[in-house]
Amino acid sequence: MGQILRYRDFLNTYKTRSHRIRHLKDYEWLFPICSSPKLAGIVADLICDGHLQGDPKWRMDYTSKNIEELKRFESNMFSLFKVNGKIRECKYNNYSKSYNIGVNCSPVARILLLCGVPSGQKVLQKFGIPKWVKENKECFREFCKRVFTCEGGIVHDGRKIPQIRMQIWKSEELLKRGDEFTENLCKLMKKYFRIDSTLRLQKPRLNRKDKILSRPIRIYIFNKSTIKFFEEVGFDGEKQKTLKALLYSGLKNGGFP
């Protein structure tokens, strides 16, 4: 697939020449960085259930309730970058038991930033889908699958065809100008897979420690587009099995309109 990052672009993220020389030997073999569905999936993971920290301690974290999901993430990171992480239980989650994998590797964190992962608090930042993901159908397919696996769910309220719903949070101030990320997600699902979707803003809530007003923005997929989503994109893991069972049940009990 196409080249998206050259070694000299990576070197330019360092302020001093000594840093550049020190990292040359260990990481030059990674370049050029080329687009791939696996890389697109890692970028989506970090945008959704992950976190990329920039200066002064470049590192990455990914959180899940499922240990196997963290092992999948670590396996993909090792496959592309030959780095491992450390899994630990999240001690400060008051809502449910979850786990975190931390990857302490400054060069790889810088690479992923240049590949399109935002750093810092994503709720307070404007960001979109990386250009290289948007321009490649297979990269977007994997990116979309990971976004919906992380942030999406299945709504089944007795309809023959269940509904797919995905939600992310943004500050109220940012949403005054729209949200490029969710808007592009909807447009590209239509372009590549003929999946129709609807964007809806929910009521704002003051549920942050910093008192910043934030609001969830949701993507809904329903009717025959749910079937298209299942066939063309889908979820990873148990969510896909659940969706398959619900679609099969609806077909068995009267078919689809």
pLDDT digits (tens, 9 = 90+) for 118-130: 998 888 888 999 9
CA distance 161 to 55: 47
Q: Do domains 3-120 and 132-252 have the same CATH topology?
A: yes
Q: Comparing C-alpha atoms, which of 205, 41, 13 is closest to residue 111? A: 13
Q: Which residues face 100 on adjacent strands?
A: 63, 88
**C-beta of residue 142 within 8 angstroms of C-beta of residue 87:** no
Between CA 63 and CA 202 the distance in angstroms is 25
pLDDT at 256 over 60: no
Multiple choice CATH, 3-120, 3.10.28.10, 3.30.70.2740, 3.30.390.10, 3.40.50.300: 3.10.28.10
Yes or no: say if 95 and 65 are a contact pair by the CB < 8 Å rule: no
* pLDDT exceeds 90 at position 115: yes
Query: Is residue 29 over pLDDT 90?
Result: yes
| CA separation for the pair 13, 15 (Å, rounded) | 7
Q: What is the per-residue pLDDT for 241? A: 95
Query: Can you read off the two tokens belonging to residue 18?
Result: 């000594």
Q: Is 80 exceeded by the pLDDT of residue 158? A: no
pLDDT band, residue 91 (cuts 50/70/90)? confident
- Top-level class of domain 132-252: alpha beta
Cβ contact 257:237 at 8 Å: no
| Residue among 181, 109, 172, 114 at smallest CA distance from 151 | 181
Per domain, the residue ranges of the chain are 3-120, 132-252
Structure confidence at residue 118 (pLDDT): 95
Whether pLDDT at 252 is above 80:
no
Residue 3, token pair as written in the block: 């080249």
User: What does the pLDDT look like over 189-239, one tens digit per residue?
Assistant: 999 999 999 999 887 676 666 667 888 899 999 999 999 999 999 999 999
What are the structure tokens assigned to 188, written together? 């590209």
